[in-house]
Every structure is written in C-alpha cells, then in structure tokens.
C-alpha cells in the first residue's frame, strides 16, 4: 500500500499521466485557436503524446512546442490544404442538396467517397509529419498508401477520431481531455504502422520511437 502511494507508485504515476493528457489537450486547443495553425498543433499533439506520455521522454510542454516549431511551416501549409478541401466539399454538398433526380444522388455519393478519402488521408498525414522528414508529395503519397494498405486500422482510427470530434462538439468542456485521450488511443494502432515504414538503421541512440 505504501509503495502504491509513493511518489513513484501507481497512484501518483497515474495522476501524472492524467495531468499530462489534460495539459497536452489544453495546448492543442490553444494552438488551434488561430485556425491556420491546426496542422502544426495536431502534429505536435501526436509527437508529444507518443514521446512524452507513452515513452516518458522529456516534458510535455517542451516537447509539444519543439514539434510545433519544427513543423510550423509545413504543418501550416498542410493544414490550410485540408481546410480548403473541407470548404470546397462543404460548398459542393450544399449545391448537390439543391439538385433533384438521379444526377444529384450520384454526385452526392461521389462527394461522400471523396470526403472519406480526404479524412483518412488527413488521419495519417500529421503522424507522418511528426515522425519523418518528407516532401509534400511524399507526405501525401505515404499517407494515402498507409491508409489504404492498413484499412482495418484506418477504419478503427477514423471511428475514434469521429467520436472524439462529436464528443467535443456535444460537450465543449470535454476538449480539456478528449484530444489527448483520443490521440493516445490512436497511437497504439498508428505506431504499429509507422514502425513498418521506419528504416532499420534509424535506431539512433535516442530513437525513442523504436522502443
């Protein structure tokens, strides 16, 4: 019982994890407020959850802002691309809903498929950006390949992300912990995938992601 309540025991260790999850969730929410920084913020969220919370390397805030700064430019551009695609698809859905007949139904189905394709690609883009140094072309190419090749995992991850988004929309205060929890759950599947694409010689002295 004494060891359970010691500073290194299960109780305080668990409380520390909960605090870290809430902190990284808060940092993500704050960094998403400008809208255009959603990309680097999401990249930093994944990086920090895996490195600081799961691997227990470094401090949450320090690692979060390290990743945010490193991926600010590319992450912002990628985030803007997905934001633009979301706006375009929303506009298309609005137009299609006004259409009657078979053509409207066909276009609606096509846009649903395109939207799902964009979503599953986005799911992999930010973890890839947090782990690898890639050109925009290879970043999107690799993400699409992973999403399709590991479709069962992709579906599960998409469900987790969708449920998290719904929960934050339904109960806004949930944003204080849902981003971190959802990212943590996603990481258990995502890491299995990313390791398959990590070069074997990537085992540098501090290659925490290979653990």
> What's the pLDDT score for residue 2?
45
Q: Residue 137's closest CA among 125, 149, 153?
A: 125
Pull the structure tokens for residue 7: 């500073």
> What does the H/E/C string look like for the chain?
CCCCCCCCCHHHHHHHHHHHHHHHHHHHHHHHCCCCCHHHHHHHHHHHHHHHHHCCCCCHHHHHHHHHHHCHHHHHHHHHHHHHHHHHHHHHHHHHHCCCCHHHHHHHHHHHHHHHHHHHHHHHHHHHHHHCCCCHHHHHHHHHHHHHHCHHHHHHHHHHHHHHHHHHHHCHHHHHCHHHHHHHHHHHHHHHHHHHCCCHHHCCCCCHHHC
- Phi-psi region at 170: left, alpha or beta (left = phi > 0; alpha = psi -120 to 50): alpha
Q: At what angle do helices 10-32 and 60-70 cross, to 10 degrees?
A: 30
Which residues does the chain have with pLDDT short of 70?
A: 1-13, 200-211
For residue range 25-44, list pLDDT tens digits in order: 999 999 999 999 999 999 99
For residue range 112-122, list pLDDT tens digits in order: 999 999 999 99
> What's the pLDDT score for residue 101?
80
- What sign for the dihedral angle of Cα 9, 10, 12, 13? positive
**Whether the predicted model's global pTM rises above the 0.85 cut:** yes
């Amino acid at each position: 019982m004494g060891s359970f309540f010691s500073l290194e025991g299960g109780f305080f260790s668990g409380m520390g994890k909960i605090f870290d999850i809430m902190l990284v969730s808060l940092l993500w929410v704050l960094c998403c407020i400008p809208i255009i920084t959603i990309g680097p913020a999401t990249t930093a969220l994944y990086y920090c959850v895996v490195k600081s919370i799961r691997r227990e390397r470094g401090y949450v805030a320090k690692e979060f802002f390290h990743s945010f700064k490193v991926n600010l430019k590319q992450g912002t551009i990628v985030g803007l691309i997905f934001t633009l695609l979301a706006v375009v698809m929303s506009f298309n859905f609005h137009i299609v809903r006004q259409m009657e007949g078979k053509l409207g139904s066909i276009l609606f189905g096509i846009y649903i498929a395109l939207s799902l394709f964009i979503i599953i690609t986005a799911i992999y883009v930010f973890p890839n950006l947090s782990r690898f140094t890639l050109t925009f072309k290879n970043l999107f190419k690799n993400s699409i390949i992973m999403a399709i090749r590991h479709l069962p995992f992709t579906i599960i991850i998409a469900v987790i992300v969708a449920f998290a988004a719904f929960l934050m929309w339904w109960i806004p205060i949930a944003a204080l912990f849902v981003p971190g929890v959802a990212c943590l759950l996603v990481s258990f599947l995502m890491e299995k995938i990313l390791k398959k694409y990590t070069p074997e010689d990537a085992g540098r002295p501090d290659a925490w992601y290979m653990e």
